Each structure stands twice: as C-alpha cells, then as structure tokens.
Amino acid sequence: MQLWLEHLVYCSSGGTGESRLFVRKEGEWRFPALAPAEAQAYLNELVDGYLLGMSQPLLLLPESGGAWLKACYDAEKDVILMDEETQQKARSKFLQTYEGNMVVSGEGADIWYQRLWRSLEPAHYEEIIAQTQRYLLPLYRYHRSTQI
C-alpha cells in the first residue's frame, strides 16, 4: 500500500515514470505511470477514506480483503467475477486469511478488530468486501508483477 500511495503522489505531481518494489516471495510490484488527474482522483479517494476512518471504524482488512480480491478479480477483463462458484472460492480464501491456522495467526486475531466484533457476521463481511473494492481494487488494477 505504501508504494501505491507514493506512486499516486508522484504521478499527481507530474511524474511520468514507473514505481517498483522488489519483494522476496512475489518478485516485484510495479505500477505504470498514471495521468496526473487520474492519480489525484485515486489519492483523493484514499484521503477521504483516511478522514472517514478518523471518525468511525473503517472495515478495511488488507490481508483478508486482498486474498478475496486475488481470488475473484480477473485482471485481463478488469472485472470482479461475481458468479457463485468464484465467490465461494474467494470467501474461502478470505476466511483462510482472516482465521489463520495453527502456524500463522489470521488477521481476525488482531485485538483491534476483535474490539469491533466478536465474530464475523455477514454484515461485517459485506462491508469489508465493499471497502476492499473501494480502496484495494485500484491497487490491484494497476499492479504489474513479475517473478524473479
């Protein structure tokens, strides 16, 4: 997320280059140059979300929501697949990341999320997915990665 924010600031101020981050497991993350107005619009959306989050809980779970998005976002067609089979797989990926396992604790183990809800209700899940689409989808839409 930090690279995406820095990239938006760079592009909105007139930068025309690509932003890259090399990561151990995934190779690299790259974002192509965006038009200044487009970058500013995405940046404004994130700032609005930040301000909203300062006055009420923002149900944005980047790891669990990201797992959901990876499972149902078709990058070639630039659509979220909403068919039942794909959504079941995406929900399963979400829950695996949220709940964790015996080796890795899930995102749901975070004490701050536990203060918001004791158990993940359908309304919470729907709100998390809505926030994922609002804030993380642009990041996945422009993300270009290569394996090293």
How confident is the model over 33-89, as pLDDT tens digits?
Answer: 999 999 999 999 999 999 999 999 999 999 999 999 999 999 999 999 999 999 999
pLDDT of residue 125: 97
Q: Specify the pTM.
A: 0.88
Q: 56 phi and psi, to 5 degrees?
A: -155, 155
Asked whether the beta carbons of 129 and 138 are under 8 A apart, the reply is: no
- Residue 103: other Cβ atoms inside 10 A: 5
Instruction: Answer whether residue 133 shows pLDDT above 70.
Output: yes
Structural domains of the chain, count? 1
Whether 148 has a pLDDT exceeding 60, the answer reads: no
Which domain does 87 fall in, by range? 2-146
- Can you say how many angstroms the Cα of residue 80 is from the centroid of all Cα atoms in its chain? 13
Task: Give the pLDDT of residue 23.
Answer: 78
Contacts of 129 (CB under 8 A, 6+ apart): 65, 68
Contact 68, 126 (CB under 8 A): no
Compute the C-alpha angle 33/35/36, nearest 5°.
Answer: 110
Using the Cα atoms of residue 16, residue 37, residue 6 and residue 127 in order, give the sign of their dihedral.
negative
